[in-house]
């Protein structure tokens, strides 16, 4: 925990919080405030423990909010972008809204991997691609996306997507958005019909999953949201409140016939229960294929919705989870009623970590 705290390791956001005795404040591991002396630190399994111990939440890293949630100061800008994707935003306009362009840029780099201007440009191009695929002429799509000239639009489009607008008329558009949860940011990806990916953003296999889905769907991924992603966000909120049946979502599983069999078997594992890899192998009629079942489990692209966290070793020990074993433990604790997340802040009956 000391190493994670002083290294500001984002993989531990949601695992513990750190109290500073000299200030009475508790922080996330990623807090950018000046680090105190080691002897002045206390560690807690969650925010409730820190509050019960008399610490107050840090105003910089906001440990009571869901990990990765858009901060209050940024929310009006995000809503304005969604209301009018074609609008161009200059630094002067941001300042007129009381926003520091540098602060906005840092937040988007940290949470989207790109600057606000790059995010907004990708958002506009994705919207334009949707118009082209809907049958609108390229010129009209360029105008509606806020471009002054067709040549400028086509060049920007080519640079971002690697092809012209007409060259992608038949491509599947996959909208991609961040979803904040008490256990960390997740990346949700969906067509307008179904959810195709839901992964924790710090999963090492994430880029592999994106490439695999892009190839299987013949898709282009654009930063955007839609009704399917919004439904997934609401379902996750319900799940982390302890609802055992929130995932009545349209999903599309993309894999080999064997992988599809394994994933369907996973969806049959009851809430709050676990099964072994050997059990799943028998369930799909391949009792000797335990390793293959484990590999298929690891290739699941719909975390929580297809509950691969409910699969354990033959002796009941936790093994193999792309989102990290600590998340696997917490998800199982949640489903067994030992851990409930409310208003973005976890409450633990039995904390995972103590110090």
Last residue of a domain, one of 170, 191, 223: 170
348 forms beta bridges with 339
| Residue 188: its H or E element | strand 186-190
* Within a domain: 63: no
Q: How sure is the predictor about 258, in pLDDT bands with cuts at 50, 70 and 90?
A: very high
Question: Which is catalytic among the residues 31, 58, 61, 308?
Answer: 308
- Indicate whether 355 belongs to any domain: no
Q: What is the predicted pLDDT for the residue at 348?
A: 36
Contact predicate 226/175, CB 8 Å: yes
Q: What is the pLDDT of residue 306?
A: 95
How far, in Å, are 89, 138, 160, 238, 315 from residue 201 at the CA level?
A: 27, 34, 22, 20, 30
Strands 275-276 and 17-20: unpaired
pLDDT at 352: 34
Residue 205's domain spans which residues?
177-341
Reference 5, options 334, 324, 353, 351; nearest CA is 353
Q: What is the pLDDT of residue 347?
A: 37
Q: For the beta carbon of residue 45, count every other beta carbon within 10 angstroms.
A: 20
Kindly state the tokens that stand for 236: 């996750």
154 and 198 in one domain? no
Which pLDDT value is given to residue 190? 95
Q: Measure CA of the first residue to CA of the last residue in the chain; give whole Å.
A: 9
Q: Average pLDDT of 118-147?
A: 79
* Percentage with pLDDT > 90 across the chain: 38
pLDDT at 160 > cutoff 80: no
> Is 31 among the catalytic positions?
no
Q: Do 236 and 254 meet the contact criterion of CB atoms below 8 Å apart? A: no
State both tokens at 235. 């379902």
For 298-329, how does the pLDDT look when each residue is reduced to its tens digit (9 = 90+)? 999 999 999 999 999 888 888 888 888 888 99
Residue 159 in tokens? 């640079």
Q: Is residue 69 part of a domain?
A: no
**193-229: pLDDT as tens digits:** 999 999 988 887 888 888 888 888 888 888 888 999 9
Q: Which one, of 79, 24, 33, 30, lies nearest residue 56 by Cα? A: 24
Active-site residue, from 27, 31, 58, 61 = 27
Asked if residue 67 is part of any domain, the answer here is no
Q: How many CB atoms are closer than 10 A to CB 181?
A: 22
- The average pLDDT across 72-92 equals 85
What is the reported pLDDT for 245? Answer: 84
pLDDT value at residue 339 = 56
- The structure tokens listed for 239 are 């799940």
Element (H, E) at 264: helix 257-267
CATH of the domain at 7: 3.40.10.10
- pTM over 0.85? The answer is no
Considering its fold, how many domains does the chain have in total? 3
Domain at 140, CATH number:
1.10.10.60
For helices 290-298 and 257-267, the axis angle rounded to 10 degrees is 80
CATH assignment of the domain containing 244: 1.10.10.10
Same domain assignment for residues 149 and 278: no
140 and 10, same structural domain?
no
Q: Which residue has the tokens 């750190």?
A: 18
- Number of Cβ within 10 Å of residue 41's Cβ equals 19
pLDDT at 67: 67
């Amino acid at each position: 925990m000391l190493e994670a705290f002083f290294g500001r390791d984002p993989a531990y956001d949601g695992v513990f919080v750190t109290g500073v005795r000299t200030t009475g404040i508790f922080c996330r591991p990623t807090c950018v405030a000046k680090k105190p002396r080691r002897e002045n630190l206390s560690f807690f399994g969650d925010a409730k423990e820190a509050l019960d111990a008399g610490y107050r939440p840090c105003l910089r890293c906001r440990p009571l909010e869901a990990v990765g949630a858009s901060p209050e100061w940024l929310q009006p800008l995000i809503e304005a972008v969604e209301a009018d994707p074609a609008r161009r935003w200059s630094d002067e306009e941001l300042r007129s809204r009381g926003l520091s362009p540098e602060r906005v840029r840092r937040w988007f780099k940290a949470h989207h991997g790109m600057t606000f201007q790059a995010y907004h440009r990708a958002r506009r191009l994705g919207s334009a691609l949707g118009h082209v695929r809907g049958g609108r002429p390229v010129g009209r799509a360029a105008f509606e996306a806020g471009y002054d000239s067709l040549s400028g639009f086509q060049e920007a489009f080519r640079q971002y997507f690697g092809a012209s607008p007409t060259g992608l008329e038949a491509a599947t558009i996959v909208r991609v958005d961040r979803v904040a949860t008490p256990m960390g940011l997740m990346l949700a990806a969906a067509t307008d019909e179904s959810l195709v990916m839901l992964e924790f953003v710090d999963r090492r296999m994430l880029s592999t999953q994106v490439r695999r889905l892009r190839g299987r769907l013949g898709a282009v991924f654009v930063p955007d949201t839609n009704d399917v992603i919004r439904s997934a966000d609401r379902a996750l909120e319900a799940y982390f409140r302890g609802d055992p049946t929130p995932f009545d979502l349209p999903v599309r599983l993309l894999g080999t016939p064997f992988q599809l069999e394994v994933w369907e078997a996973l969806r049959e594992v009851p809430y709050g229960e676990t099964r072994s890899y050997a059990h799943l192998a028998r369930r799909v009629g391949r009792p000797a294929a335990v390793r293959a079942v484990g590999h298929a489990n690891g290739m699941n692209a719909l975390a929580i919705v297809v509950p691969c966290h409910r699969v354990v070793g033959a002796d009941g020990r936790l093994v193999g989870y792309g989102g990290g074993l600590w998340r696997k433990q917490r998800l199982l604790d949640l489903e067994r009623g030992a851990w409930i997340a409310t208003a973005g802040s976890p409450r633990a009956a039995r904390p995972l970590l103590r110090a």
